[in-house]
Structure 1
Amino acid sequence: MTLTRKHIWILTTIVGISGLNQGLLLPLIALLLEEKGVSSTVNGLHATGVYIGILFASLFMEAPLRKYGFRPLILGGGLTVTLCLLSFPLWDSLLFWFLLRFLIGIGDQTLHFATQTWITAYSPAGSRGKIISLYGLFFGIGFAVGPFFLPLLAIHSALPFLVSAALSLAAILTIFLLENQYPEKSGIETYTIRSTLVRFKKVLALAWAPLLPAFGYGVLEASLNSNFPVYGLRIGLEVEKISLILPAFSIGGIVFQLPLGIMSDKYGRRKVLLTVFALGTVLLWIMGMAETSFLALFFCFFLFGMLLGSAYSLSLAFMTDSIPKQFLPAGNLLSGVCFSFGSISGPLICGAFIQYFQSFSYFHFLSLFLLAIFLGLAKKPAPKPESVQK
């Protein structure tokens, strides 16, 4: 079976609303905690609750998916997020909110794992890049739209949560328009944490290179949003200019998400990924030499978003090409794990670099990081799925 237009639009719409929730929740909670006098360090650590939830859920997702199918997991994940959003206004507690963020991480991982696996498992190889890019495009648009709901705080502090929960529920209920389906069977009857880890090892042996861009994108997205504002202030940029520069990356990613996916269908995922990471490495080095110029940084951030804003969706498509279908659930879980590790480690490593290596440009450091990923992609082409012992 292949995906119909109905499948694509419903699944991408659900993912788009999920992106909106994430795009709203990050700055919303950060602002509310800042107003309460919570330190920036605690504020940043608090945000890791989502990623910890994602990593925790990754160990337990494969068995429920194979037993119950795609639709129940999407519904369960979406309802978990909705209930958590409704719960934020109930109790103003730092620990309670961290627990809710942890549960949102579990819900988001469940939803994204099921939608990603459904899309990757049933999309035809000839248009897989285009379809997965649509997935990334809708998430990116939702993530970019999310912060526009922040002014609702002026009406009531609970209103952004309530509106986000209502949109989430409305999107999730559309899943009932699709019949439930299941991933391809692997011939394994029992699924435990140990067996999941064994399949993780097999996927890594096959697709370690295709998973590198997912990790890289996690580092870039989290670091640019967390570390660049701090670095920008230290090199003399004004807050207003920083707030204009940052969205340029997201806008660039939205603009070029679909074209890069189509190009990867035509020319191959590896070639496109090598090209964008090579150009991104050069562009970051140029940014380091022109980092005090607002116009240069704004333009470069936009170009950088055009190049690397599709890294996760291209990584997903490349991974799907590189492993047998029965390993796709484990592969999709690992993609989320790699992204989460990048999102957690990126701000920590880059923050330490900014603090202890003040004579070296932050952008040059990121450039070297992208170069390392480029070399990893160039070192060894992904093996053919047919070569794997099942």
Structure 2
Amino acid sequence: MSHTELRSLTGLFTTMFIMGLSFGLAFPAIAIRLEIAGEAPIMIGAVAAMASVAILLVADKVPAFQQRFGLLPVFIGALIASSLIYLSMTQAEGLIAWFVLIFAVGAVNTVPWIMGEAWLNAVVKAGHRGRFMAIYAGIWGLGMALGPQLMVLLGPEGDGPFWVAGMAYGLAAIFIFIFRRGAPDLNEEQKSDAPKKAVGAFAMIKLMPVVVIYSLAGGLAENIIYAMTPVYSLEMGFGAAFAANMITAFAFGGIVLQYAVGWASDRFSPRPVMAILLLVGGGMAALLPMVGSNLVLALLLCFLFGGMAMSIYTLTITLIGHGIARRHLPAAHSLMVIAYTAGGLVGPWSAGAVVQFISAPSMFYLIAILFGACFLLSLAPFGKQPVAAELAESSG
């Protein structure tokens, strides 16, 4: 990786922090605003879900969009559009407006999410990808963790969170423009050929089904943790404070341990590290209900489990970088985003079902079973080559 390419990552990492911070800042503020307005909880949840619906609808279109206009114009354009949408939230009135705005912000943010991952995988070479991906994910997670605290300082009832998010996205667009030199050309391998239609995300499922399952599992586990841990704690009689401490430990583990997992994947190869991650993560999930209300043990397990569970997706996109040609990266990352988002939608619902019809601890056993199945999948013959040879990288 050249010095210019390394400098370009400054703009990319800054943008990821701003995106995480803005999500953590604006989305809780929207929920509080709608609650104060007297909207029903089910409608507040439906508004929040619009972002995920938009991602599922838009992600498959991003590769063709990038191929036509190029990485930087699409990336910067999406950041500017996001800035305008967040600023528009200061004028939002009525439930319909919030449905439209949240759908819009989910749609345009799909672009930098997908293209940011593709950018990183195209620039960083094997032997360093795991650590850079871990830094990338950790920066996003740090922004998400700080967002709610900033919301409290600004006041969730006013327009402050939306002004800050909008201006922050504008700043991100400036950073990307300043550090644009070194950004990869994801279409360079096709320039000597006749123009080709970009590969769609869904067309790649049959070429890397194992990686898709890993991404789905990562999205499912992470969203169960954040959405359903309060339900688990209250059902068990541990209280809301216990749940808050658990979630904090999960998040802290995810931020702190990602780099260690990334280092291991660089040192020993991502595939065996993924197998160990799934095995240990599944074990941690199974052990969690057994410690009951012992706060010290619960927080220790939550910290370790958070590191395992939240590294699944990061390691998945590292696997992609090790096996896919640069020209296929937009479609591959589109598919990963779709799978992760689908897991995020299915996870809380499935966890809620097992809590209601079986028991509260069953939500963690559900994760343990899923991780165990993925572990066995990683040992199967087709699991040893996560990405088909047809997609093999030709540029390192």
TM-score, scaled relative to structure 1: 0.92
* Among 165, 182, 185, the residue aligned to 1:182: 185
CA distance in 1, matches of 2:312, 2:387: 21
For 1:366 and 1:73, the matched residues in 2 are separated by: 36
Deviations 1:229-272 (A, max 9, x none): 11211110211221222111111111111221121011011111
Residues 1-390 of structure 1 mapped to structure 2, 5 A cutoff = 4-154=5-155, 157-177=158-178, 178-179=180-181, 181-184=184-187, 185-186=189-190, 187=193, 189-191=195-197, 196=200, 200-201=202-203, 203-358=204-359, 361-379=362-380, 380-382=383-385, 386=389, 388=391
RMSD: 2.2
Q: Is the 8 A contact 2:131 2:259 kept in 1?
A: yes
CA distance in 2, matches of 1:359, 1:291: 12
Q: CA deviation at 1:165?
A: 1.6
Matched residues in 2 for 1:41 and 1:112: separation?
28
- How much does 1:291 deviate? 3.3
1: CA distance, partners of 2:161 / 2:168: 11
1:276: Cα distance to partner? Answer: 1.2
Deviation at 1:155, TM superposition (A): 7.8
Alignment identity in percent? Answer: 25
Cα distance in 2 for partners of 1:280, 1:361 equals 16
Q: SS at 1:236's partner residue?
A: coil
CA distance in structure 2 between the aligned counterparts of 1:373 and 1:11, rounded to whole angstroms: 31
User: Is the CA contact 2:16–2:136 (under 8 Å) kept in the aligned structure 1?
Assistant: yes
Amino acid at match of 2:385: A
Cα 1:248/1:155, change in 2 over 3 Å = closer
More off after superposition, 134-143 vs 148-157:
148-157
Distance 1:116 1:165, change over 3 A: same
8 Å CA contact retained: 2:235, 2:360: no
- Pair 1:378–1:329, CA change in 2 (3 A): same
User: SS at the partner of 1:191?
Assistant: coil
Structure 1 unaligned regions, length at least 5: none
Name the CA distance, whole Å, in 2 between partners of 1:75 and 1:389.
29
Paired residues of 1:207 and 1:322 also in contact (CA < 8 A): no
CA distance in 1, matches of 2:370, 2:386: 24
Aligned partners of 1:357 and 1:389: how far apart in 2? 45
C-alpha contact 1:50 1:102 (8 A) present in aligned 2: yes
Q: Is the 8 A contact 1:49 1:101 kept in 2?
A: yes
Task: Tell me which amino acid in the other structure corresponds to 2:359.
Answer: Q
The question of whether the paired residues in 1 share the 8 Å contact of 2:14 and 2:175 is answered with: no
Shift of 1:156: 5.3
Amino acid at match of 1:191: K
Alpha-carbon distance in structure 1 between the residues aligned to 2:19 and 2:166: 10
- CA shift in 2, pair 1:61/1:303, >3 Å: same
Is the Cα contact below 8 Å between 2:228 and 2:351 reproduced in 1? yes
Q: How many pairs does the alignment contain?
A: 385
Q: Is the 8 A contact 2:250 2:303 kept in 1?
A: yes
Residue 24 of structure 1: how far off its partner (Å):
2.0
Cα distance in 2 for partners of 1:207, 1:289 equals 36
Paired AA for residue 297 in structure 1:
A
Q: Find the aligned partners of 1:233 and 1:368 in 2 and give their Cα distance.
A: 23
* Structure 2: unaligned runs, 5 residues or longer: none
